[in-house]
Amino acid sequence: MKKIISFAYFFCCFMLLFSVTAQAYIDPSAMTYIIQLVAGVAIAAGAGLSFYFRRLKRKLSGTKKGAPPAAETLPDDDDFGLGDYELEQDGQG
């Protein structure tokens, strides 16, 4: 433990004695560019994660990619309350 403390003390003293101050200026437009870069990376990472999350979810649930939903979950979109299959059987569709 004593070695770690002495190393930390030596390191801090070394950094203070040999530090160099930088006379730099960050332009406000450079900062907005950095913000746009970070936002773009975050959005791309979110899209990629959602893509792989859906893929994993589909694999775990056992459904196929292009499989249509079950017939009982399809909404009736006509005025008579009949589904498309029933209209085709009656000869109206």
Tens digit of pLDDT for each residue in 31-81?
A: 889 999 999 999 999 999 998 998 888 888 876 665 555 555 555 555 555
Q: Are 75 and 83 in contact (CB under 8 A)?
A: no
Contact status, residue 76 vs residue 82, Cβ threshold 8 Å:
yes
**Which residue would you say has higher pLDDT here, 82 or 28?**
28
Q: What is the pLDDT of residue 17?
A: 87
- Tell me the C-alpha distance between 64 and 28, whole Å: 50
According to the model, what pLDDT value does residue 93 have? 47
Selected residue with higher pLDDT from 9 and 78: 9
Q: Between 29 and 22, name the one with better pLDDT.
A: 29
Tell me how far apart the alpha carbons of residues 91 and 93 are, in angstroms, rounded to a whole number. Answer: 6
pLDDT of residue 85 exceeding 80? no
For residue 29, the surrounding DSSP H or E stretch is helix 28-61
**Nearest-angstrom CA–CA distance, 11 and 58:** 53
Alpha-carbon torsion 49, 51, 54, 59, what sign?
A: negative
